[in-house]
Amino acid sequence: MAAMNEQDDFLTGRIARIPAPDHDADWDRLTTQARIAMTRAYAPYSNYPVGAAAMLEDGSIVTGCNVENASYGVGLCAECTMIGALRMNGGGKIVAFTCVNREGEYITPCGRCRQLLHEFSADTMQVRTAAGATTLAALLPEAFGPRDLETINVEMP
């Protein structure tokens, strides 16, 4: 089997290293990656494929797609599979995120996925929606997360 290169990373949705000196979001690149991921979605029940892409603090890009199941409640949103890929490839903090539907249009993450993104977000994470770029904090105000647990001292009996 031939070794994979950076072009293969771009086409397969594997984490790809890209320069990001100031962590400015490259929305065009993220959108392209989300659209590629959307083509791999498994959505036979809703017929609503979704692709997601995020840029991490180190400049890498990670992607995911929704994966449905005949038992509707166990379907996975694109953000869920993206976070799984993030963890499988070494982790990191998300600085920019977007997701798209079948038409490649920007959509906004559901509440559950906003909470999931918060768990792995950098403090200044940006989210590209149909209305434009905003912060995750604006989409999920007063969010509860790992930082809240750091301040709690729980004694076990």
Residue type, 37: A
Q: Assign residue 150 a region (left: φ > 0; alpha: ψ between -120 and 50; beta: otherwise).
A: alpha
* Cα 58 from Cα 61, distance rounded (Å): 9
Interhelix angle 78-88/27-38, nearest 10 degrees: 110
pLDDT per residue over 21-71, tens digit each? 345 789 999 999 999 999 999 999 999 999 999 999 999 999 999 999 999
Burial of 24 (0-12, 13-18, 19+ CB in 10 A): exposed
**Looking at the annotation, which residues are catalytic?**
79
* Cα 53 from Cα 102, distance rounded (Å): 15
Q: 12-149: which CATH architecture?
A: 3-Layer(aba) Sandwich (3.40)
pLDDT per residue over 56-109, tens digit each? 999 999 999 999 999 989 999 999 999 999 999 999 999 999 999 999 999 999
Domain boundaries, the chain: 12-149
Q: pTM for the full model? A: 0.81
The pLDDT value recorded for residue 153 is 64
